[in-house]
Structures are given as structure tokens and as C-alpha cells.
Amino acid sequence: MIRAYLFALDPTAGQEQAFRSHCGAQRFAYNWALAQVKANWNQRTAEESYGIPEAGRTPWISTSAYSLRKAWNQVKDVVAPWWGENSKEAYASGCANLAAALGNRRDGRARMPRFKSKRSRLSCRFTTGAFGLGHDRRHIRLPRIGEVRTHESTRKLARRVEAETACIISATLSYQRGRWHVSFSVELPDAPSPNRTRTRTRGVGVDLGIKDRAVLSTGETIPNPRHLDKALRELRRAQRRASRRRGPDRRSGQVPSNRWHKANDRVSRLHAQVSNQRRDGLHKLTTRLVSEFDTIVIEDLHVAGMVRNRRLARHIADAGWGEFRRQLTYKADAAGVRVVVADRWFASSKTCSGCGAAKTKLALSERTYTCAVCGLVMDRDLNAARNLAALAGGITGELLREQPAGTRVRPDDRLGCEIATGRPRCGQRHACEGVAHGTELQVS
């Protein structure tokens, strides 16, 4: 399996200038290759409009990384006579990035790539050359740049490399969150296969929220630290200070002042601090869930649609629901733990965890769930978490062990249709409860 090890760097002024030069070279090669591709496509479009047959038109340009890199090597002495100042991997990285972007467009996953400006994210990837760990556990090595000191120890990766259980296959240099980082892509041995013969009986439902970061079906509540809300006051002051400085103006060519750079760096550090705090809390929570439970059930939340609510967008973004699912998925996969993703239309909040009756409407302001059938009174989030845990209990055992990862399975029949709410697939609806039948679950 491939895992990434990210380290913050502590470069000197000269090394930082070399970093920016390599990232600029990557951007230059990317823009040059994109210009060649667009010129070729525009030429063919013009020839088609003139009625020229296919045999007489300009041949299609190959957009593979190998072809783009070969074309670059043929003209680099003319278009970029300074190319020798940087590693050849910087230019190869730009061609490879464009090939990947065009591939995503061809597959329908992205739009046509655009030219990168100097304000784009700085990054450069190395796949060959002298890169890896340095002479000690506080340095890393990059081609043409040499050894660079790190902010933290690299012992976790160094121990694996020394034991020959890890192989570094690439290094990506990037500027993010106000610091330079290097990310090593490391090939590790496959995770041991989980014991599928053991019946998994310990499951938990996790209901994510804003008031509380997560509510477990066991009754435990993980509070939401609201890191962004706590930093808003200082962040506003820093942003006001930066707005009063002489910043860059692309129309007039105004150069930003040193005081603007300092004020802007302060804003970046505050954002980075909030991001690191949020990520640290999510790592601790997901690691704990994977280590304590065999089956974890979460909801398939449409976060991109939720953040369109202008009243809750900031709070939803600060909760980090998407990052929670990403971390939980890869950690559970490595530990052999099942993650069950309930259908997006499964009404976990509207369904009673006691009798299974479902409400047709439930306002967001109703924080306490009251069942009109059995009289159950329970916290809304805890009720949803227990409904999710019931799904884990319904598919734990033979069905869970037989289904491979990534397949979609139906809940166990013993759960009944009381909690099988979701997008209708067979067209039947229960008149007494007004819920749809045919819920699907995704096991990842």
C-alpha cells in the first residue's frame, strides 16, 4: 500500500529561493504544454470549419506525460534557456500534472485545465534523483537543492527505511499553511488481512453534528471545540491590519510592501493554527474509534450542499465532516475494521430507535426527539446514532463477512421497514408511516 509522510521544513533563505524557482519551473512547463495542446485543438477546429477532410487536418497532439515531456526536451533550450538552473524533475512534474488534468477532463471528472498564475499553489514533485532522508533524522534531501532541515524528527519513516520495510518512491515539495512541506510517497507492505472468521459483534453508530462533534450510540458525546470561532476575534484584527497595508495590485502593477507581507503572514499562521488543531482532534477521534470498535456506521452527508446554507456554512466547514470520513476510511482499511456508510436518504433522525416509527417532518430546531407512538423521549443526535448502530447490528455477521469492500448491501430483514427509509427503488410506500422502502447501504 502507498502512504504519505508529511514533514514541515525549516529552509534557509537560499533554499527557499531554490524552492520557489523549482515550483516556478514546474508552472512554466505546465503552461507551455497546455498552450501547445490548446493551439493544436484550435487548429483542428479551424480546419474542420473550413471543410478540410480528416486525412488533411493537423494530427492530434499526444497528451500523455511521456509525449509532453519529450516535446519539452526538444524545445527547452529555445523557450527556457535557463532550464539548467533547476532539476529536470521540475519540468517533468509540470508535464505529468497536465497529462493527469487532461485525463480527468476526458473521463468527465473535471473541466478543461486553465493556465496557472504566479498566485497558484506552489508545488513540485520529484520521482528520480537524489531525494529521501538526510544524514540524520532532522534533515531531508532533494535533487539540486541538497539537505534541508525539518521542523520535526523523521524517525517514524527513518525506522521503517532502516528496517527495509518501506521504500520512498517520490517526494512532493509544496507551500501550504504558511510553511514549506515535503511529502514522501512511501510503499509499505500490505496490511494484514483481518480475521474474517471471527463474528464481529461490537458496532457503533456515529452521528456527526455542529453542537457536538460526534454522538456515539453508546451514549458518549464528543464536544465540538469550535477552533475557528475561538480564533475569529484575533483573525478579524489581523485581517483588518493587513487590509490597511499596501497590498499588490495586478492592474496597476503595485508591489506589496514589507509590512503587508508581515501582516498577511500573520493571517496565514492563524488559519494554519486552526487547521492543525482541527486535524489533530479528528485524528485522535478516528484513531480511537478504529481501535475500540469492529464495525462503524456513519452517514453519507452531502457536505457540499450543506455549506450553501449561509447561516451554517462556517460552522459546518469548521466541523470537518469530510476530513473525518477520509481519515476514518483509510485507518479502518489498514486496521481491518468495517465502515458502513448509510444511504444519504436514510432518515436516522426522523426514525424512533425504540419502536421504529418514523416522522414525516422534523424541524432542525427540535433537539429532543419525542415519539408519538411509544412515547420515547431522547436527544435527537443520540436517537440518530442508535438507528445507525442498529444497521451495524443488522448486517454484522455472515452478510458483512461475505460482502467485499465497496459493495452496496441491504439491511437485514429483521430490522423491518420501520427504519428502511430512503429514496424509493420499488415504488412502494407505507401509508401508516409515509416512508420509502428499499434503502441501500454501502460497505467500504
For residues 355 and 280, membership in a common domain is answered with yes
Global pTM reads 0.75
* Distance separating alpha carbons of residues 7 and 139, to the nearest angstrom: 10
Tell which of 187, 215, 249 closes a domain. 187
pLDDT band at 200 (very low <50, low <70, confident <90, very high): very low
Instruction: Pick the range with the lowest mean pLDDT from 121-130, 181-190, 342-351, 400-409.
Output: 400-409
pLDDT over threshold 90, residue 415? no
Q: Among 149, 165, 94, which residue's Cα sits nearest to residue 125? A: 94
For residues 25 and 107, membership in a common domain is answered with yes
Element spanning 104, H or E: helix 88-106
260 in any annotated domain: no
DSSP state for residue 413 in the 8-state scheme: G
* Distance separating alpha carbons of residues 25 and 17, to the nearest angstrom: 12
* Grid cell locating 272: 494554519
The predicted-structure confidence for 385-409, as pLDDT tens digits, reads as follows 999 988 876 543 333 333 344 434 3
pLDDT band at 274 (very low <50, low <70, confident <90, very high): very high
State the average pLDDT over residues 355-370: 85
pLDDT over threshold 70, residue 410? no
**pLDDT attached to residue 344:** 85
236 in any annotated domain: no
* Grid cell locating 330: 483509510
For residues 175 and 213, membership in a common domain is answered with no
Residue 431's CB is within 10 A of a number of other CB atoms, namely 5
* Domain span holding position 124: 2-187
For residues 162 and 213, membership in a common domain is answered with no
The predicted-structure confidence for 89-130, as pLDDT tens digits, reads as follows 999 999 999 999 999 999 999 999 999 998 899 999 999 989
For residues 132 and 209, membership in a common domain is answered with no
354 in any annotated domain: yes
Most confidently modeled range among 89-103, 181-195, 302-316:
89-103
pLDDT over threshold 80, residue 430? no
294 is a catalytic site residue: no
95 in any annotated domain: yes
pLDDT band at 65 (very low <50, low <70, confident <90, very high): very high
* Distance separating alpha carbons of residues 413 and 410, to the nearest angstrom: 9
State the average pLDDT over residues 182-195: 78
pLDDT band at 363 (very low <50, low <70, confident <90, very high): confident
* Distance separating alpha carbons of residues 312 and 171, to the nearest angstrom: 38
Instruction: Report the mean per-residue pLDDT for the chain.
Output: 85
For residues 151 and 215, membership in a common domain is answered with no
363 in any annotated domain: yes
207 is a catalytic site residue: yes
177 in any annotated domain: yes
* Distance separating alpha carbons of residues 289 and 291, to the nearest angstrom: 5
Q: 373 with 387: CB under 8 angstroms?
A: no
The predicted-structure confidence for 17-52, as pLDDT tens digits, reads as follows 999 999 999 999 999 999 999 999 999 999 999 999
For residues 17 and 118, membership in a common domain is answered with yes
For residues 164 and 211, membership in a common domain is answered with no
* Grid cell locating 8: 514541515
239 in any annotated domain: no
pLDDT band at 192 (very low <50, low <70, confident <90, very high): low
253 in any annotated domain: no
User: β-pairing, 408-409 with 441-443?
Assistant: antiparallel
The catalytic residue among 299, 343, 418, 440 is 299
For residues 120 and 210, membership in a common domain is answered with no
The catalytic residue among 207, 418, 433, 440 is 207
- Report how far apart the first and last C-alpha atoms of the chain are (Å, whole number): 17
Q: Among 297, 303, 308, which residue's Cα sits nearest to residue 319? A: 303
* Distance separating alpha carbons of residues 151 and 182, to the nearest angstrom: 11
User: Where does residue 403 rank: exposed (0-12), middle (13-18), buried (19+ CB within 10 A)?
Assistant: middle
**Domain total for the chain?**
2
Extended strands (E) in 287-444: 295-299, 338-342, 368-370, 377-379, 408-409, 441-443
For residues 155 and 282, membership in a common domain is answered with no
3-state secondary structure of 187: strand
pLDDT over threshold 50, residue 438? no
DSSP state for residue 150 in the 8-state scheme: B
The catalytic residue among 294, 343, 381, 418 is 381
For residues 117 and 217, membership in a common domain is answered with no
Residues paired with 426 in a beta bridge: none
For residues 167 and 20, membership in a common domain is answered with yes
